[in-house]
Amino acid sequence: MSEVRAERKIKIELTAPFDGWWAEMRLHVPFRLAVMLESDSPTDRVNAIKSIIVAHNFREEVGFDEVIDDVLLAPDDAISQLLEKWGALKAALPSA
């Protein structure tokens, strides 16, 4: 389940194997961040991802209880699922 909040954030809930994990992400990002997300530079992509995630409850691995401070320490497939859902939700929004 995902929802668009009045303050222009999207709360995205992940699915198996990351049931219960969620992240709040910026709905609209500056063009610079959009370009960084598509960059060939891993550093640019990592910095952009950190900039668009506002809050999260991600863990270092499935089954761990402690929420990590740095979302970049989460499993890569959790981040991939998050970005895929974020992109799909943004694409589904009306342009006007």
In tens digits, what is the pLDDT along the chain, a chain of 96 residues?
Answer: 555 555 688 899 999 999 999 999 998 888 999 999 999 999 999 999 999 999 999 999 999 999 999 999 999 999 999 999 999 998 887 765
The residue ranges of DSSP E strands in the chain, in sequence order, are: 2-4, 9-13, 22-26, 53-56
pLDDT of residue 90: 86
On whether the CB atoms of residues 82 and 12 are closer than 8 A, the answer is yes
Whether omega before 94 lies within 30 degrees of 0, making that bond cis, reads: no
pLDDT of residue 94: 75
pLDDT of residue 27: 87
**Helix axes of 42-52 and 76-92: crossing angle, nearest 10 degrees:** 70
pLDDT of residue 73: 96
Nearest CA to 89 out of 20, 6, 25, 17 is that of 25
Element (H, E) at 77: helix 76-92
